[in-house]
A and B are shown apart, each in its own frame.
Chain A
Amino acid sequence: MSLAGFGGVLVWARRGIVDQHKWMTADEFNETFALCHFLPGPNIVNLTFVFGSRLRGIPGAIAAFSGLVGPPALIMVVMGMLYHRYGEIDALRRVLSGVACAAIGLMLAVVFRMMTPLFKRRDVIALLVMVAVFVAIGILRLPLPAVLLVAIPISIAITYWVKREAA
């Protein structure tokens, strides 16, 4: 069971697991994905791990994980070596600055896209929670675990309460 060809992108994972090899049904895939989405950590890595274990137990999980992470991690190491050696060259520094600017723009676009439904629903509480986390982490630079240990229970309590009011 060689998964070395795994692209590392969700679309590819889905195509390979559901469409080509019929290792999982579409529903199973969605369910596993939803689960891995609300758990912490890199979603796709979680997904691969759970998927591998369902198929072949722990060895399957390890195989799927190595297939997903191994090849791109090797590329990263090579990039790291190149950066280590040539990172001080002026032209490369300029190129990387340019790429970073564009990459930040891409991340902001994702943020906007995720915010849109909250605005559309006029979900004031969710927007306030969002701003509070932004300020605590981005501006006050508080440690992540401390912020989340406070924010997660509060957010869950609010969500639960709002859903119960609505029901």
Chain B
Amino acid sequence: MNSDSNPVFALALTFATMSLFAVGGANSAIPEMHRVAVDVHHWLTDKQFTDVYAIAQLSPGPNVLIVTLIGYSVAGLPGALVATLAMCVPTAVLALFVSRFLTRSSHARWPGIVQAALVPLSIGLMGASGYILARTSDQTVVAALVTIGAAVLASVTKLNPLWMLVVGGCLGFAGLIG
């Protein structure tokens, strides 16, 4: 496998596989994206990866579009297109087949069990996402306080999350985060 010489092919392969393992949505796949993009292929640096995550959060649309940005950084427009399709299409086709075969009540018990079994897995994965991103981002006391503050505010209030991103951005602009 000579995936280094053809990054578009590597992108397609990476995200098509990841698509089928992203239990609980795109945020669960962030540790795997980081592992592949930063550690294995050196497509991005740690800092670029957290930047890309920040940009994806600031933009409208489904979370999964972080892969569009990763694809773009690696191989321009073709990269963006291929990464997005590879991440979305395999699992969407799977969903289509399952929804056709799963008639309404006959298997009512199994989806419930599988879903309950996947909950702890997806929480663990999202926790790992937070940990991996925080390792790069939260290297000063103020940065860690912003993260903790946003976590607490989002847990106890119904404030629009966008405000917290804006406040974080302003504190960063003021040079407080480093």
Main secondary structure of the interface of B (DSSP, over half): helix
From B17, B80, B102, B176, A76 is in contact (CB under 8 Å) with: B80
Give CA–CA (A126, B122) in the complex, Å: 11
* A109 lies within 8 A of B96 (CB): no
Main secondary structure of the interface of A (DSSP, over half): helix
Q: Is residue B8 within 8 Å, beta carbon to beta carbon, of the partner chain?
A: no
Contact (A95, B124) CB under 8 Å given A40-B22, A80-B68, A108-B147 = no
Give CA–CA (A124, B77) in the complex, Å: 47
Q: Write the chain B residue with the least CB distance to A125.
A: B120
Q: How many A-B residue pairs have CB under 8 A?
A: 332
Q: Write the chain A residue with the least CB distance to B143.
A: A101
* Residue from B124, B126, B149 whose CB has the most chain A CB atoms within 10 Å: B124
Q: What does the 1/0 interface line of A7-32 toward B look like (CB < 8 Å)?
A: 11000000000000000000000011
Q: How large is the interface on B (under 10, 10 to 19, 20 to 34, 35 or more residues)?
A: 35 or more
Q: How large is the interface on A (under 10, 10 to 19, 20 to 34, 35 or more residues)?
A: 35 or more
A interface list, Cβ under 8 A from B: 7-8, 31-32, 34-50, 53-54, 61, 65, 68-69, 71-73, 75-77, 79-81, 83-84, 87, 91, 93-115, 118, 126-127, 129-134, 137-139, 141, 143-145, 148, 151-152, 155-156, 158-160, 163
